[in-house]
Structure 1
Amino acid sequence: MPLVKDFYQALDSLAPFETAESYDNAGLLVGDFQSQVHTCAVALDLTEDTIRYAQKEGADLMVSHHPIIFHPIKHVRAGSAVYRLARSGMHAICAHTNLDLAWGGTNDVLCEMLELTGTTQLTGEQGEEFCGRIGKLPRPMQPEEFAAYVSEKLGGTIVRYSNGGKEIRTVGLCTGHGASFAWEAFRRGADAFVTAEVKHDQMIDARAMGLTLVDAGHLETEDPVVDKLLSYLQEKFPSVHFVRVPREILGISSACVKGE
């Protein structure tokens, strides 16, 4: 059977861990490189709920996008995700900003979902590479139509947006918390920018400069990469049983209540 280190190396080939941002915490965060893997669970996040689900499925290894250890921790006690994972004997590999930056990673999956063409890396004035993409829509759209288009492509999720007041042909994007890159996309000719966790003042600023800024949700823009990871690892390790942890297990959802 393949070892944990084989999974690490496979993920490193897809999204080199050395490319992760300096503030990030990616790689093997819990466990042992030399242990065998019979069942692997793939999830967006490692929480008590997702770990419990993986335990019931008999997983030896969990692969996630978001790291189980990100901020410094002073203790590991019962009731925490780290405690549950370590006590269960499972291992955890997390591919975070390295997967955001990688070709074929989170941002490219979102580009595919939005059917963008001619996509390129989002870069700064000095040629520095940012965590995002820019590409062309299948057809021009007005801001209202584009917001509905994003919602539909992401499974009917609720979106917030600022109306930039002009037709949209070129779209920039960054999955998760990426509104800080909207200006760079605008500088590159983007008419709209899709991301998540957008602040109110960022919406106001975007409208003022004529950019349609769409907040499509952190979960909604990043969870699709879990399916990409699952397919990639299944192809690499056909002898291993795989489990896709449903995003509903996270207990995060949206609701829209229409008044009378």
Structure 2
Amino acid sequence: MTVKEVTDILEDLAPLPYAEGFDNVGLLVGDANAKVSGILVTLDTLENVIDEAIATKYNLIVSFHPIIFGGLKKLTGKSYVERVVIKAIKNDIAIYSMHTALDNVPEGVNAKICEVLGIKNPKILIPQKETIKKLTTYVPVKDAETLREALFDAGAGNIGNYSHCSFNANGQGSYKAGEKANPTVGEIGKIHYEEETQLNVTFSKANQGKIMKALFTSHPYEEVAYEVITLENTNQNIGIGMVGELETPIEDMAFLKIVKQKMGAEGIRHSALLNKKIQKVAVLGGSGAFAIDAAKASGADILITADIKYHEFYKAEGKMIIADIGHFESEQFTKNLLVDYLTKKIPNFAIRLSESKTNPIKYL
């Protein structure tokens, strides 16, 4: 199995187009065509993780956080980032990062937090914008069904719990083939009129490559007339953070103690307690201050996240609790999620949960 074959499987779970614009995801180091001897899954790729990969002879590291985030102008070994990249290259170790691509899918980081905390019926807290696209094309009536099925097979036409969705309108198209043309129907130099179907389908932006390949492969015309536009419609299945409910309401302090124990937090920084039972819970792994307003708007009793600054705790405004459990602690189970996923997709393959410690924060 090659690096690319493994990363294709990972991108079925978390397509890279769903990553935030500021992020750096995908294959960061290594040859996509290299054979994989084993997969080491980690939250962060540090030098001790590279050493673990060398010792176990695993040459693909799947990391949640990207080791290369900003631009690298030099590789002299003066920073921990440079040392990791140099050591990985020297030992033919590939590094692949998922980060916000995995944050933004419904089976990702925040779904795992909900699972650990027993949060039921979770829904996306902040839907990602501009994830739905629409294709309009024109095809001879006799070829419309073939093209439509090819687009459906490529992933077009899925809307919520429905599939094979399209809109079709018949009309008359016209064109005149030039001297160098090779028209499917009609004659060079003469205007041709053809009974055509205007075919409209929506699709996820993550599938655009597959959709366009299906369009050009299955359309009978030499020159395909088509339009692709990005819709403002909200996709409730793609986005960051989640909000759901506890099966049984519980006192706020008692719930915080459960969170501390289940998430392995050394401590929880939180806003004022509300002295009421917690039922609706919002979660966002990693730095989640930007989700405070969305969590309040959702009616959540508490937001569980990390990296909250002093003044940001004021934004709770007595309407909910803001709980900072630590960045590492909020995302640590992502490793388990990825190991479980890869083990199911690639059974009987060498897949290892990294044992290296990567949390940079220590507590007194």
Q: Does TM, scored on the shorter chain, surpass 0.5?
A: yes
Kept in 2, the 8 Å contact 1:37–1:240? The answer is: no
Structure showing greater radius of gyration is 2
CA distance in 1, matches of 2:283, 2:307: 13
Q: Which residue of 2 aligns with 1:83?
A: 86
Equivalent residue number for residue 257 of structure 2: 148
Answer yes or no: is 1:26 the counterpart of 2:25. yes
TM superposition shift of 1:169: 1.2
RMSD of aligned alpha carbons? 1.9
Deviation for aligned residue 1:156: 5.1
In the TM superposition, structure 1's runs of 4+ consecutive aligned residues that sit over 4 Å from their partners are 124-130
Structure 1: segments with no counterpart, 5+ residues? none
Q: Give SS of 1:213's match.
A: strand
Matched residue, 1:100: 103
CA shift at 1:53, angstroms?
Answer: 1.6
Structure 1 residues 1-260: aligned runs within 5 Å = 2-78=1-77, 80-123=83-126, 127=234, 130-155=239-264, 157-165=266-274, 166-206=276-316, 208-246=317-355, 249-250=357-358, 252=360, 254-255=362-363
- Segments of 5+ residues of structure 2 without an aligned counterpart are 130-232
Q: Percent identity?
A: 30
Tell me: CA distance 1:251–1:154, structure 2 relative to 1, closer, same or farther (3 Å): closer
Compute the TM-score of the two structures, normalised by the length of structure 2. Answer: 0.66
Q: TM-score, normalised by structure 1?
A: 0.91
d(CA) in 1 for partners of 2:58, 2:75: 21
TM-aligned CA deviation for residue 195 of structure 1: 0.2
Secondary structure of the 1:175 match is: strand
CA deviations on 1:53-89 (whole Å, 9 max, x unpaired) are 2211111110010011111111112352111111111
Any idea what SS the aligned residue of 2:62 has? strand
> Contact 2:105 / 2:239 at 8 angstroms: preserved in 1?
no
SS of aligned partner of 1:63: strand
* Distance in 2 between residues matched to 1:60 and 1:233, nearest whole Å: 16
After alignment, is 133-142 or 213-222 more displaced? 133-142
1:174-221 Cα shifts (integer Å, max 9, x gaps): 000012102101101111000011111111221x24210111111111
Deviation at 1:40, TM superposition (A): 1.2
Measured against aligned partners, the alpha-carbon deviations of 1:30-62 in whole angstroms (never above 9, x if no partner) come to 111111111111100011121112211111110
Shift, 1:123, TM fit:
3.2
**Quick one: which amino acid aligns to residue 22 of structure 1?**
G
Could you tell me how far apart the structure 1 residues matched to 2:87 and 2:10 are?
24
8 Å CA contact 2:253, 2:273 repeated in 1:
no
